[in-house]
Structure 1
Amino acid sequence: MRKKEARHTNTNSAKNTLSDGRRGLINSAIYECITIINLIRRFEYVSKSEIMSNYSEADSRRFKDFLDNHPQKQPGILKTSQIFEYKKLFPSDVLEPAELSLSQSYLKSLALVIFCQIFHSGYGDDKYTRKNDRNKNRSEMNKIIQEGLSREHADNFSAFVDRALQLRDTMIAHADGKAFQYKVVNPAVASHRMMIAAVDEIDIDEFSSYLDAIRVGYANTYRSSTDTD
């Protein structure tokens, strides 16, 4: 009986601080992220398939022939106008390798934004959903995920959350000048860091492993609180 009472006390704090509505929204965010990651995996599979490899080789040969016979051919120089002209003459009926890669990056951006719903501030309502307090929820979730993460990975997870929130707040959902490193080279030329380049630094395998850990820990925590009612 003592063991059961201790278990009830440990899980009841989480139960009392997360309303059903907020709990449901967090659970939804977890599974939406997992769905997006699985979709990214599908894009990866297609991009590495033999069919795509054969298509890429054929398209590369056709593009080379197009450039070799272009009236404005200049050795060693590829103009953007030539690329657009080629795309217009030879429209593709499938996603090209570059488009598949870009699609994966934008999907990862979406997954990061949804992932940050778990930790970011959010309004509640008067009946079912409590306010999502950024600091309180971060601490609460850190305790919950210990069910699915080993202690040695806890620091890495915390750093990952910080990085995801930083990307969400400065480059994906907002445009922070410092984060984009915008520079004016001369009156006609400017440069900045691309959002996609920053997002691509997020390792998809690491992201996936944390989602699985959160899913397991979150489910176990609230299953335990239900079992003791």
Structure 2
Amino acid sequence: MRRFLRDNGLSVVFGLLFLGSVVGQAFAGHADYVNRQLARGGDPVSFWAYVTSSDFAVDIAENWQSEYLQFFLYVMATVWLVQRGSPESKQLRRIGRESDADQLVGRHVTESSPRWARTGGWRTVLFSRSLGLVMGLLFLSSWLAQSIAGMSAFNAERLADFTDPLTWPQYVASADFWNRTLQNWQSEFLAIGSMAILSVYLRERGSPESKPVGASHTVTDESG
């Protein structure tokens, strides 16, 4: 168990942080929702009713879709775009899909290469695009979940105000949907852009997200 925790520390710790933050959000969101219900003269709802509601689902989904969009775009953009001096970027000479030798495919595979990398054909082609494809699918799935849950929550408020509900296409084109969406997107784009440029000039000793402390500012694609 100790070795498992050492070898999988990042995934275990961030998995626990994720679960803890979701639970915390559920309790805080429930308290806030009950307060808003009481302020409107409505009845309080149970914790279980809240966490299975569209209000809770849309808050969760809108954050997930922005995170997966960030990583999908970053995975795809870093194939062709570089940032001189950043460990978040590959070397300038490696712009593009790179050679078979660089990617250890074709006649350059090794015994330890994943099976689908050694198989060749459509399996290797699919495997070589698998990270971007999965990130893209996760983004689209969470975006769809956000739009459906958001429509349900938005229409509940409209019905409470005695106004007609919106259809899904109407809601996706509405200001409410894009306000929720863009306020998350802009923070993700700012964060990842800041990391790419700040890591050129700043260091964090021992972190693979940072260059070695003594490395030149112009050194690219080298982690500490």
Bin the TM-score by the shorter chain.
Answer: 0.3 to 0.5
Q: Identify which of structures 1 and 2 has the higher relative contact order when contacts are C-alpha pairs closer than 8 Å and 6+ apart.
A: 1
Larger Rg: 1
